[in-house]
Amino acid sequence: MFAIVDCNNFYASCERVFVPRLRGKPIVVLSNNDGCIIARSNEAKALGYKMGDVYFQVKERLRKDGVCVFSSNYALYGDMSRRVMQTLEAFAPEMEVYSIDEAFLDLTGFRDLLAHGQRLRATVRQHTGIPVGVGIAPTKTLAKVANFTAKKQPQYNGVCVLESPTHWEPILAALEVGEVWGIGRQHENRLHAQGVTTAFEFSQLSDTWLRKNMSVVGLRTAQELRGIPCNELKPEADARKSVTVSRSFGQRIRWWRKSNPKARTVSSGWW
């Protein structure tokens, strides 16, 4: 069994830890040189601010909405990330730090996974002040689905365990195929052309079709959605790959936003 632990609105949460009066208030964090929005608290999301919104274009609106704006502070986020990861180490024999705000844990052989996940979540909150979501399942791709579900549906209380097909199949049937870990825009379009719109439909495609049209990587993703693990834990992976340097120039931003409206400036995973 794998768990993926993902910090909620990580940069925004880091800033808020040290300013308690901002609890429950909308806040956003800006990219290098204050170019665009790269993190939002839930309150800022609810006000309609998007990842990649250009700061000078929304500056006045932010002021009117009373949103607290932070320049990014990567030294702080790196330090908070280390604290979160150190706390997580106590909850599994092996861990893969997947990005600055995400880690996979190996929970093979653990009992009562829901209680373990809840304990982990409460401990990270207590030690660091950072809220996290936890997804637990027999494969990394399903764990990502579980994590996504825990984040979107409040009744899970931040922890979702998908132990068997009866748990994950209805969730996959309601999940857009483009939300699956590792399914990029190009494959999403190809799948739509094929009439495949949900993660469940994708997982039921034939191995031959998958291999031919989406290579062995697509086949593995489908197998993982069926509960067959194809991705091992990589304990030596380091967090640096996730730190994206973004620079902004008026013209280029417009090009970038038009041609790739869903692009994210901070890559903290595939969602």
Q: Provide the binding-site residues for Mg ion, judged by CB under 5 A.
A: 6-7, 10, 101, 268
Element (H, E) at 6: strand 2-7
Closest contact distance (angstroms) between CB of 99 and Mg ion is 8
Distance of CA 202 to the CA centre of its chain: 21
Up-side HSE of residue 244: CA atoms within 13 Å toward CB? 16
Output 96 or 101, the one with its CB closest to Mg ion.
101
Minimum gap (Å) between residue 188 Cβ and Mg ion: 21
**Cβ 269 to Mg ion, closest distance in Å?**
7
Q: Which is nearer to Mg ion, 147 or 203 (CB)?
A: 147
Pairing of strands 27-30, 37-40: antiparallel
Q: Which CB, 39 or 233, lies closer to Mg ion?
A: 39
Closest to Mg ion by CB, 7 or 191:
7
Fill in the DSSP letter of residue 54: B
Alpha helices in the chain (DSSP H): 10-17, 42-46, 55-65, 74-89, 113-128, 140-152, 165-173, 185-193, 199-203, 207-225, 250-259
Nearer to Mg ion, 197 or 244 (CB): 244
Q: Provide the minimum distance between the beta carbon of 10 and Mg ion in the complex, in angstroms, as a whole number.
A: 5
Among 149, 162, 148, smallest CA distance to 114 is for 162
Q: To the nearest whole angstrom, how small is the minimum distance from the Cβ of residue 178 to Mg ion? A: 18
Taking the CA atoms of residue 242, residue 247, residue 248 and residue 252 in that order, the dihedral angle to the nearest 10 degrees is: -80
